[in-house]
Amino acid sequence: MTFHASILTLYPDMFPGPLGASLAGEGLRSGLWSLDTHQIRDHGIGRHRNVDDNPAGGGAGMVLRCDVLAAAIDAAVPAEDPRPRLLMSPRGRRLDQRMVRDFVAGEGVVIVCGRFEGVDERVIEGRGLTEVSIGDYILSGGEMAAMVLLDACVRLIPGVMGKQASGQEESFENGLLEYPHYTRPREWEGRGLPEALLSGDHARIARWRREQAEKITRERRPDLLKP
Ligand code: SAH
C-alpha cells in the first residue's frame, strides 16, 4: 500500500515543487508515494471558467464557489475513496506530528487548496471536508500549506528517508523537544563537546540526552509537558 496524495488547486504547476527535490522527490520517482493534481478551474462556470464570486452579504475579496469545488472534488475522487478529504484553512485543527502519523497510517490524503477569502462554507459540509491549519498566520493560498503537510507525511513513509528516519527520537515523538546535536570537530572556536557524549557510556549518554530534552522542553515549550 502506498501513500497517495490528490491535490485540488487553481495552481497545479506549483506541484510537486519542493516535494520533487531531495529524498521526497526520489521517493516520488521510485513510487514510494504518488501525487496527482486537479485543476479546479476545469470545473469553472461559463466561457471564462469562473471559480469565484463576491461574498454573500457583501465585503471585500472573493469566495470559491461551492458548486465548482464540489464538481472538482467529485471528478477527482470517487465517493468511496477512503482517504480523508482535507481543506487547508487557518480555521482548521492545527497540524501536529500525531495527525501526520495518522495520515501516513492510511492510504493518503485528498487536499483542497483554498484561495482568495476562502471557500463557500456549504461545500465543507456537503463534501465532508476536514479543515487543517499549519499555524496561526495567513497564507495567500492553501498550496504551500498542503506541501508542508505532505512533506511531514512523506518523510515517514518507509523507505523514503532510509537510515535517517530516526523516528522515535525526534522532537514531539515522545512529547518532548529534541536534545542538542553535536558532531566533529571535537573543539571549535574554544567550544568543546559535552562531557557525557565523550564517555562512551551508552546509558549515561541516553540519560544526558533525556535530561537535555526535558530541560529544553521546560524552557521553550512548557505546554508540551502538561498532561
Ligand atoms: N479569509 C481567510 C483566509 C484566507 S487565506 C481567513 O481569515 O480565515 C486563503 C487560503 O489560504 C485559505 O482558503 C487556505 O486554503 C489557505 N491558508 C491560509 N492560511 C493558512 C494556514 N495557516 N493553514 C492552512 N491553510 C491556510
Distance 218 CA to ligand 1 centre (A): 31
Distance 189 CA to ligand 1 centre (A): 45
The span from the CA of 35 to the CA of 40, in Å, is 16
> What is residue 226's predicted lDDT score, i.e. its pLDDT?
85
Which of 39, 53, 50, 17 shows the shortest CA–CA distance to 145? 17
Mean pLDDT of 4-19: 98
The SS3 assignment for 37 reads strand
Residue nearest to atom 26 of ligand 1 (CA): 89
pLDDT digits (tens, 9 = 90+) for 59-105: 999 999 999 999 999 999 999 999 999 999 999 999 999 999 999 99
The span from the CA of 126 to the CA of 110, in Å, is 15
Residue nearest to atom 8 of ligand 1 (CA): 90
Delimit the CATH 3.40.1280.10 region(s) of the chain. Answer: 3-154
What CATH homologous superfamily does 3-154 map to?
A: SPOUT methyltransferase, trefoil knot domain (3.40.1280.10)
Delimit the CATH 1.10.1270.20 region(s) of the chain. Answer: 169-224
The span from the CA of 159 to the CA of 157, in Å, is 6
> Are the C-beta atoms of 28 and 35 separated by less than 8 Å?
yes
Residue 167's pLDDT band, with cuts at 50, 70 and 90, is low
**Helix 142-154 vs helix 97-105: crossing angle, to nearest 10:** 70
Q: In this structure, which amino acid lies at residue 99? A: M
Q: In this structure, which amino acid lies at residue 223? A: D
Decide which of 3.40.190.10, 1.10.1270.20, 1.10.443.10, 3.20.20.80 is the CATH code for 169-224.
1.10.1270.20
The span from the CA of 104 to the CA of 95, in Å, is 13
Q: What is the pTM of this model?
A: 0.96
